[in-house]
Amino acid sequence: MALISLSLQAQNTQWASEVIEFSSQYMSTKYSANQVLGQPNSFPKGGDSKLSWSPKEEDGKLEFIKVKFDNPMPVQQVVVYENHYPGAVSAVYLYDENDKEYLAQEFKVKSTQRATRILEVNFPMTSYNVAAVKVEMVCKKVEGFNQIDAIAISNSTEKVEVKIEVAEGVVFDGELEKLGPGVNTDYAEQSPIISPDGLTMFFIRRNHPGNMGGVDDENEIWVSQLQNDGTWGIGYNIGPPLNNTSNNFVASVTPDGNSLLLGNAYNSDGTMSAGVSISKRNGTRWAYPKTQSIDQYVNNYNSVSFFMSNSGKYLIMAIEGNDSYGTMDLYVSLRTGEGKWSKPINFGKQINTAVDEFKPFLASDEKTLYFSSYGHPGYGSADIFITKRLDDTWTNWTKPKNLGSVINSDDWDAGYTIAAKGDYAYFNSAREGSSDIYRIKLPQALQPDPVVLISGRVFDHKTKLPIEATVYYEFLSDGSDAGIAHSNAETGEYKIVLPYGYTYGFRGYAKGYISVNQHLDLVEVSEYKEIETDLFLVPIEVGQVVRLNNIFFETGKATLKKESFPELNRVVELMEENPTMKLEIAGHTDNVGSETSNQQLSQSRAEAVVSYLVNNGVSGANRLIGTGYGERMPIADNDTDLGRQLNRRVEFKILNK
């Protein structure tokens, strides 16, 4: 997705890039001298801003700030953005590359009686390169905290225009739609979370009579289902144990719809405390949420946001940590085990500002991040932004871009969420007073990279009954973890979302069973797709046959490819866990070529698998038998490509448990 910076139209304009010295600052982060650097953050609205420089004392002594510019040049204009109680500027000075001082202009200090002012200081083109500028203020003559948002120099007297940096191609085909009465009421609706299949919405209702604690119950979780006509059905309270008389909200839902990430820790005595929890669906009911353990978790703020990636590997949070740049910063923790997460990693200065970044949403491609911010330049209150992760450090991001004036208003806009397909965006906004939930069809420029939604059921291979199982998926290139999901205990249904660019293996797991693995090549990027694939688990019983779907050989040879190793390593683990187990490894071919060559190839491939298993830890005499069956035992018609593909296989048969 291409993003473009719609920046300044004035010819050769520069913004202050470094603070050289200053008289005082209100705080070391918010309202600090460094907040004057770069483009304005509070304009065009202006007003008190933590992202501007404010002297320490209100109506105090003579204050000043001196700033540097990256590329010294002749100029004929300095622009000072006074965002709060303007009129205190008394003088502007220029400095050449040898730090020689020149007076640009002096001013009569008095209140402008306006909320903001853009002070344009024009003069003849300098004969020297301007490397720095100093602005002085006599604060005691203008009531209130006098703040400066930004300082610019220009080689032109033309008006310096600042435009909000908006993602390229933000042209919407349809109108912004306020959802109907099934979702929006006279009360506040916020924090929509759309399931990856796009069919279920979780949201909160504030102080609604239908909350468990009535109108005194601030936040409770409600649910709506997408109807056949494209509207959202009548919302219903999700009920206990997820709702109680405390603050309840859904932070994210897994692709299978069987797990919810919930704000706060649900304690065993029914009370709530700070933290985050996960509840798993047991049939049609939600289990009591289990608290997640985050290593060295600290939140010094009175609010929090969470989001768990579709893979279940990454937990994103908006908290005030000890290393935050302001109040709420965005962080990520990596899954280290069941219910366990690593120490949070700060996303860095490209994302986080001196004020709040919150309500993160990581798209199904696990690269495209949407979030709300008071700190990045916007249209008023909090706006929604888009950025892309550039590597696995989680600290390297593209510059955040505003989603534009259709989605963002001059009021509070947050809670952005989209389904895996990426066609519609949902968010909440207070643009009409009370907070409501809206949706809009997304242009291609704002859609994340396409993904594939895999769905199906997990079955017992012998009884054909559904099974509650954990679904693991991995990158076949190295066997590393790609994600985790869970099937429904009653129906066996599961769903996973796979980004393009990789070849995946995926399988169900349940105690007492052997997984029949599947694989899918998604190296070539295409469009959004939905694929149905059932998974089977074979009971560990004598006589059961398990096909090894993720075994790959060089064409016409018995040389194993590295993509086979994760599958074979699980067979090693199986035999280590069952030390008396004995297997026959059977090789099969299609009928292309001579019967003799096919027999030899199948025998060689079976023996190659046996050798790998022995060399990687399977011990004990005669526990493995390699047998080649050639083309003698087809399971499909050899007259089609698909049939021949099914007949070319390696499988094992349990001879002894």
pLDDT, tens only, 586-617: 999 999 999 999 999 999 999 999 999 999 98
Instruction: Report, as an integer, the average pLDDT of 415-429.
Output: 91
Residue 2: the pLDDT is: 34
Q: Is cis: bond before 241, omega within 30 of 0?
A: yes
Q: Is the pLDDT of residue 78 over 90?
A: yes
pLDDT reading at 639 higher than 60: yes
CA distance readout (Å), 452 to 74, 112, 151, 476, 529: 55, 58, 47, 17, 5
With cut-offs at 50, 70 and 90, classify the pLDDT of residue 62. very high
Report which DSSP code applies to 609.
H
What was the pLDDT predicted at 43?
76
139: three-class secondary structure by DSSP: helix
Q: Which two tokens stand for residue 63?
A: 């204050």
Report CA-CA distances (Å) from 55 to 26, 146, 522.
5, 7, 56
The answer to whether residue 409 scores a pLDDT higher than 80 is yes
Write b or e for each residue in 606-626: b if 16 or more Cβ atoms lie within 10 A of its Cβ, otherwise e: bbbbbebbeeeebeeeebbeb
Over residues 343-354, the mean pLDDT reads 94
Q: CA gyration radius for the chain? A: 31
pLDDT tens digits, one per residue of 427-466: 999 888 889 999 999 888 888 889 999 999 999 999 999 9
- Tokens 């020689």 belong to residue: 100
Where would I find the beta strands (DSSP E) of 500-607?
503-509, 513-516, 518-521, 529-532, 535-539, 545-547, 582-588
pLDDT above 80: residue 139: yes
**Mean pLDDT across 474-495:** 91
> 540-657, superfamily in CATH?
OmpA-like domain (3.30.1330.60)
On whether the CB atoms of residues 580 and 621 are closer than 8 A, the answer is: no
The predicted pLDDT at position 164 comes to: 86
For the segment 161-168, the average pLDDT, to the nearest whole number, is: 85
Higher pLDDT, 374 or 45: 374
Query: Confidence band (pLDDT; 50, 70, 90) for 621?
Result: low
Question: What is the predicted pLDDT for the residue at 443?
Answer: 86
Q: How confident is the model at residue 42 (pLDDT cuts 50, 70, 90)?
A: confident
At 485, the pLDDT band (50, 70, 90 cuts) reads very high
Percent of the chain with pLDDT over 70: 98
User: What HEC string does 65-78 produce?
Assistant: EEEEEEEEECCCEE
Q: What is the pTM of this model?
A: 0.81
The third-level CATH classification (topology) of the domain covering 13-154 is: Jelly Rolls (2.60.120)
First-last CA distance in the chain? 53
Q: How many whole angstroms separate alpha carbon 442 and alpha carbon 462? A: 46
CATH 2.115.10.20 applies to domain 177-446? yes
- Choose between 124 and 217: higher pLDDT: 124
pLDDT at position 384: 94
The yes/no answer on whether domain 450-539 falls in CATH 3.40.50.720 is: no
Domain ranges (residues) in the chain: 13-154, 177-446, 450-539, 540-657
